[in-house]
Amino acid sequence: MKYYYALLMLPLLSCAPTVQLQAPDKPIEINLNVNIEQHVRVSIEKDVKQTIAKNKDIF
């Protein structure tokens, strides 16, 4: 009787799920939209402050 249950379980063991990894057809695209507007503003503000400090009679 013990072997009978083992024989019944044998087909179920062959149906184990498998995991397959496959590379995508298209390359992975990473879109990096970086806003550098603040950096430009800081640089311009520093430049303007230096120019005003050098030429105080402009304004």
The pLDDT of residue 44 is 78
- Split at pLDDT 50, 70, 90, the class of 28 is confident
Predicted structure pTM score:
0.31
The pLDDT of residue 59 is 64
**In the predicted structure, residue 38 carries a pLDDT above the cut 70:** no
**In the predicted structure, residue 40 carries a pLDDT above the cut 70:** no
**In the predicted structure, residue 16 carries a pLDDT above the cut 70:** no
With H, G, I as helix, E, B as strand and everything else as coil, classify residue 20.
coil
The pLDDT of residue 20 is 85
Q: Which residues have C-beta within 8 Å of that of residue 44, sequence separation ≥ 6?
A: none
Q: Quick one: which H or E segment has residue 44?
A: helix 37-54
Say if residues 25 and 31 touch (Cβ distance below 8 Å).
no
